[in-house]
Amino acid sequence: MENEVLLATLKNALQIDIIEKISFENIKATLANRIDHLIHNNFDELINLLYKVDVNENKLKKLLKENADADAAGIIADLIIERQLQKIETRSEFRAANKKDENGDEEKW
């Protein structure tokens, strides 16, 4: 279930074409390939994407510096996936809180 939600958010947020029923590893690989393409061909679009997804700039700079020999696209892909999963969790918690409010289980403001 979590892969499907992640897949949907990545498709919408990043406007990349990922096939349904794909493993988490393949999601990451597809995303890393897209990011690698942007690094080499359209860096401005990559920067806009990172702002759109709301990747923590300081965390990204730190990880890239600490892992200078690693694949930058893979590091960026990990951070994008991490951020999207955080958003999914936050939305789920918000929905659960709203459901409680609708049922009168908690005090409303």
- Whole-prediction pTM: 0.73
The confidence band for 26, taking pLDDT boundaries of 50, 70 and 90, is confident
Read off the pLDDT of each residue in 78-97 and give the average, rounded to a whole number: 89
The confidence band for 35, taking pLDDT boundaries of 50, 70 and 90, is very high
**Cβ-Cβ contacts under 8 Å for 58 (sequence gap 6 or more):** none
H/E run at residue 101: helix 72-102
